[in-house]
């Protein structure tokens, strides 16, 4: 960036005026020196030396100040461009010259004023002038001897010339005074002119200073712009270096990507070939998968049918049928969380139940498996055929077994809105009776017992009757079991049977435990006896429906039983243990079956290994917390499934039936009916 300087006309006129004033002052100075040459001879050497010394000191001071000023100007000019620095240097030189001329004129003016004053004083005092002259002469020559006649003569002549010389000096002083006044007038005029020039010079100086400040500001702005441009250039250079590095990196990356691209192209070709092979294989796999699906469906259908037919064959052979029912997870178990909410029991198909316990995965095969989503109606549907067998003259037993809180009582009895097997069996039984009323007559009776602490209790005994009357378990010649001394209620409809059933339930022993809000503390046995007489032939069939709700097996540590409940639990577990011994003996086809070890097993003689069609429900809990008890129940049920009963129909002809009726009434001391005799 270039900076141009220009001088105003005022500055140029000031410079020209300064040159004119300088010339005039120099002429005046020469004339003064010429006119005062005569006075210098009598001036004091000491006074001249003093003026010279003072002048030297002032010149030295001015020189030092100028040197300092030049140094400062040089330092400042180093920061500006070369052309501007040269112009400023030239202008500063002009200013310095003008100031030097002004200072010299002032100094000369002052010196002339001083000399003029001294000469004036000397002229007005002739004696002093004479004395000074005398002293000067004395100092310039050796001191004469006082008595020297030549010296005396000279002094005398000097004394004679003194008045004349004094007059001359006065004349000279007058002339000098006149010239002094002229000089003073000229000096005043020159001083006024110098003052005007100085004012003009100050204005020019201020203008020049403003110009210099403006130039300095422009220089500062230019410097800032230059610094900013330098920083920008540096940043761009750094950015360029970074971009170069990035470019090198990208080039290397590009080279590597090209290599990878070539590899990918080769791999893509291989992948396309593989994709074609994959498509062909997928198409073939789809066909095979569809074929496999059809085969799997056929296999599952055939497997289900095979199990169904196998169960029917086993039933015809007299095998005990076993159904498994998995209850849902309760709300309390969900709230407690942990193992009490973790489901480990599942139904793989309608005949298989699996348990994923800590000891591994185990599967069990039964005649039917009901999942938690199966309702009471679906559960009863598979027992409907057994109700018909009761009217056909067979002994039928439906029994529920399982751990405490596994849902046995709910399966057998249910609730008001969801009745269980017993209420539904009563309804279905009398529906069948009503449907066959044109073919036969039916007489129905029922009794209801509970086995509590290994003691039989008649639940239908009227209030006030002898509760201590002995109840004996008897078995007839055909192996049918009945309880002698029990209260038998004759019923003619499902409603009467339900009322008797509800009456017995109110007398049953129940209690709350940690595992069940209303836990059965006894084994419940409901027996419905039917006598079916054909209207055409007079033959008599006797059927018996036994419904058993076993008390649950339990661990005291889990159920939290009290002292009384502990005795109940021990009795329950003891009777169930005896039942287990009977099941083990029957499943292993042992020659001796320990029925008499417990009243429970004595009551179930015709149901287990007897002449009954028996259906056992094993109820299990689905959560991991009860996995051990679930496994025990399932293994127990698997052994029950291996037991075979000798199923037979209870039938007599009309005459045998009439004679048996007479014998029964005679034993009781009752009168014989005329139609019987």
Q: Which fold has domain 320-668?
A: Kinesin (3.40.850)
Q: What is the pLDDT of residue 115?
A: 73
Q: What is the pLDDT of residue 442?
A: 93
Q: What is the pLDDT of residue 144?
A: 45
303 pLDDT higher than 80: no
Side-chain half-sphere exposure of 254, counting CA atoms within 13 A = 6
CB 376 within 8 A of CB 415: no
Q: For 104-129, what is the mean pLDDT?
A: 67
**Is 44 labelled a binding residue?**
no
Mean pLDDT score across all residues of the chain? 76
pLDDT-derived band of residue 94, with 50, 70 and 90 as boundaries? low
Q: For 454-477, what is the mean pLDDT?
A: 79
Q: For 112-140, what is the mean pLDDT?
A: 59
**Is 404 labelled a binding residue?**
yes
507 pLDDT higher than 50: yes
CB 369 within 8 A of CB 585: no
Q: For 403-428, what is the mean pLDDT?
A: 92
553 pLDDT higher than 80: no
Residue of higher predicted confidence among 426 and 100: 426
Minimum mean pLDDT range among 20-24, 214-218, 398-402, 484-488? 20-24
Comparing CA positions, the residue from 540, 576, 557 lying closest to residue 660 is 540
Q: What is the pLDDT of residue 670?
A: 62
Burial of residue 104 (CB within 10 Å: 0-12, 13-18, 19+) is middle
CA dist 526 and 399 (Å) reads: 10
Inter-residue long-range contacts of 199-202, CB under 8 Å, 24+ positions, other chains counted? 200/10, 200/13, 200/14, 200/17, 201/14, 201/18, 201/98
Comparing CA positions, the residue from 593, 596, 583 lying closest to residue 633 is 583
Q: For 261-278, what is the mean pLDDT?
A: 88
Among the ranges 169-173, 336-340, 370-374, which has the highest mean pLDDT value? 370-374
Q: What is the pLDDT of residue 38?
A: 44
55 pLDDT higher than 50: yes
**What is the greatest pairwise CA distance in the chain?**
230
Q: What is the pLDDT of residue 546?
A: 93
Q: What is the pLDDT of residue 158?
A: 59
Residue of higher predicted confidence among 478 and 539: 539
Residue of higher predicted confidence among 139 and 69: 69
**Is 317 labelled a binding residue?**
no
Residues ≥6 apart with Cβ < 8 Å to 449: 456, 457, 458, 459, 471, 483, 486, 524, 525, 527, 603
Q: What is the pLDDT of residue 529?
A: 94
60 pLDDT higher than 60: yes
Neighbours of 217 (CB within 10 A): 10
Q: What separation in angstroms does the CA of 248 have from each of 155, 255, 610? A: 114, 10, 97
Q: What separation in angstroms does the CA of 302 have from each of 291, 295, 331, 354? A: 16, 10, 39, 21
CB 456 within 8 A of CB 471: yes
**Is 89 labelled a binding residue?**
no
Q: What is the pLDDT of residue 204?
A: 75
Q: What is the pLDDT of residue 152?
A: 66
Angle between helices 82-124 and 149-317 (to 10 degrees): 150
345 pLDDT higher than 60: yes
Among the ranges 28-32, 40-44, 442-446, which has the highest mean pLDDT value? 442-446
Q: What is the pLDDT of residue 661?
A: 66
Residue of higher predicted confidence among 245 and 518: 245
Among the ranges 40-44, 340-344, 394-398, which has the highest mean pLDDT value? 394-398
Q: What is the pLDDT of residue 68?
A: 66
Query: Which tokens is 649 given?
Result: 């129909």
Minimum mean pLDDT range among 31-35, 280-284, 412-416, 615-619? 31-35
**Is 402 labelled a binding residue?**
yes
Residue of higher predicted confidence among 628 and 566: 628
**pLDDT over 90 for what percent of the chain?**
18
Q: What are phi and psi of 478, to 5 degrees?
A: -85, 0
Using left for φ > 0, alpha for ψ between -120 and 50, and beta otherwise, residue 79 falls in alpha
Burial of residue 505 (CB within 10 Å: 0-12, 13-18, 19+) is middle
Minimum mean pLDDT range among 39-43, 104-108, 114-118? 39-43
**Is 11 labelled a binding residue?**
no
579 pLDDT higher than 80: yes
Alpha-helical runs (H) found in 78-148:
82-124, 126-140
Q: For 134-159, what is the mean pLDDT?
A: 55
Q: What is the pLDDT of residue 551?
A: 86
pLDDT-derived band of residue 423, with 50, 70 and 90 as boundaries? very high
419 pLDDT higher than 90: yes
Q: What is the pLDDT of residue 220?
A: 84
pLDDT-derived band of residue 475, with 50, 70 and 90 as boundaries? confident
Residue of higher predicted confidence among 676 and 340: 340
DSSP letter for each residue of 496-563: HHHHHHHHHHHTS-EE--SS-TTEE-SEEEEEEEEEEEETTT--EEEEEEEEEEPPPB--HHHHT--H
pLDDT-derived band of residue 77, with 50, 70 and 90 as boundaries? low
416 pLDDT higher than 70: yes
H/E segment holding residue 622: none
Per-residue pLDDT tens for 160-200? 666 676 677 678 778 777 877 886 787 778 778 778 877 87
Domain residue spans of the chain: 320-668
pLDDT-derived band of residue 659, with 50, 70 and 90 as boundaries? low
Q: For 374-394, what is the mean pLDDT?
A: 88
21 pLDDT higher than 60: no
Residue of higher predicted confidence among 193 and 31: 193
């Amino acid at each position: 960036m270039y900076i141009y300087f220009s001088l105003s006309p005022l500055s140029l006129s000031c410079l020209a005026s300064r040159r004119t004033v300088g010339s005039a002052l120099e002429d005046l100075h020469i004339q003064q020196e010429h006119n005062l040459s005569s006075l210098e001879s009598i001036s004091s050497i000491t006074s001249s030396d003093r003026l010279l010394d003072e002048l030297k000191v002032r010149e030295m001071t001015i020189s030092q100040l100028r040197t300092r000023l030049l140094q400062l100007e040089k330092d400042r000019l180093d920061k500006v461009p070369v052309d501007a620095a040269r112009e400023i240097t030239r202008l500063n030189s002009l200013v310095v010259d003008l100031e030097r001329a002004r200072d010299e004129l002032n100094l000369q003016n002052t010196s002339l004023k001083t000399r003029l004053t001294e000469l004036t004083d000397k002229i007005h005092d002739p004696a002093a002038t004479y004395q000074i002259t005398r002293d000067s002469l004395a100092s310039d020559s050796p001191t004469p001897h006082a008595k020297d006649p030549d010296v005396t003569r000279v002094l005398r002549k000097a004394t004679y010339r003194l008045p004349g010389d004094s007059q001359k000096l006065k004349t000279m002083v007058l002339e000098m005074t006149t010239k002094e006044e002229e000089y003073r007038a000229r000096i005043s005029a020159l001083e006024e002119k110098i003052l005007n020039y100085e004012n003009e010079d100050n204005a020019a100086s201020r203008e020049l200073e403003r110009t210099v400040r403006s130039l300095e500001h422009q220089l500062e702005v230019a410097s800032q712009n230059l610094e900013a441009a330098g920083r920008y250039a540096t940043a761009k250079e750094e950015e360029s270096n970074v971009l170069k590095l990035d470019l090198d990196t990208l080039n290397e990356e590009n080279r590597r990507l090209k290599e990878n691209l070539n590899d990918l192209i080769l791999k893509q070709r291989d992948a396309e070939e593989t994709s074609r092979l994959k498509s062909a294989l997928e198409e073939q796999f789809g066909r095979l998968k569809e074929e496999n699906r059809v085969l799997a469906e056929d296999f599952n259908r055939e497997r289900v049918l095979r199990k169904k037919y196998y169960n029917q064959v086993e039933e015809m052979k007299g095998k005990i049928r076993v159904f498994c029912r998995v209850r849902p997870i309760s709300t309390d178990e969900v709230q407690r969380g942990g193992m009490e909410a973790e489901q480990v029991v599942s139904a793989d198909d309608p005949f298989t139940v699996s348990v994923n316990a800590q000891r591994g995965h185990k599967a069990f095969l039964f005649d039917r498996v009901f999942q938690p989503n199966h309702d009471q109606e679906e559960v009863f549907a598979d027992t409907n055929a057994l109700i018909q067998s009761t009217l056909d003259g067979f002994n039928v037993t439906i029994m529920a077994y399982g751990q405490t809180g596994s849902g046995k009582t709910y399966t057998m009895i249910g609730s008001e809105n969801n009745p269980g097997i017993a209420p539904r069996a009563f309804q279905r039984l009398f529906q069948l009776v009503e449907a066959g009323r044109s073919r036969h007559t039916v007489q129905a009776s029922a009794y209801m017992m509970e086995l509590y602490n290994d003691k039989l209790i008649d639940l239908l005994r009227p209030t006030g009757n002898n509760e201590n009357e002995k109840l004996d378990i008897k078995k007839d010649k055909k192996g049918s079991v009945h309880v002698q001394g029990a209260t038998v209620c004759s019923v003619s409809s499902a409603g009467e049977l339900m009322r008797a059933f509800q009456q017995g339930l109110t007398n049953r022993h129940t209690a709350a435990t940690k595992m069940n809000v209303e836990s059965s503390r006894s084994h419940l046995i409901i027996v419905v006896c039917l006598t079916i007489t054909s209207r055409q032939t007079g033959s008599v069939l006797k059927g018996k429906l036994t419904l058993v709700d076993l008390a649950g097996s339990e661990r005291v540590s889990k159920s939290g039983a009290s002292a009384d409940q502990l005795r109940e639990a021990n009795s329950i577990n003891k009777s169930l243990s005896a039942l287990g011994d009977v099941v083990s003996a029957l499943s292993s086809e042992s020659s001796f079956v320990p029925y008499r070890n417990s009243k429970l097993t004595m009551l179930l003689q015709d149901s287990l290994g007897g002449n009954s069609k028996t259906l056992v429900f094993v109820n299990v809990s689905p959560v991991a917390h009860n996995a051990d008890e679930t496994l025990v129940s399932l293994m127990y049920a698997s052994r029950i499934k291996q037991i075979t009963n000798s199923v037979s129909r209870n039938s007599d002809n009309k005459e045998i039936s009439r004679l048996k009726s007479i014998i029964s009434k005679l034993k009781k001391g009752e009168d014989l009916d005329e139609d019987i005799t």
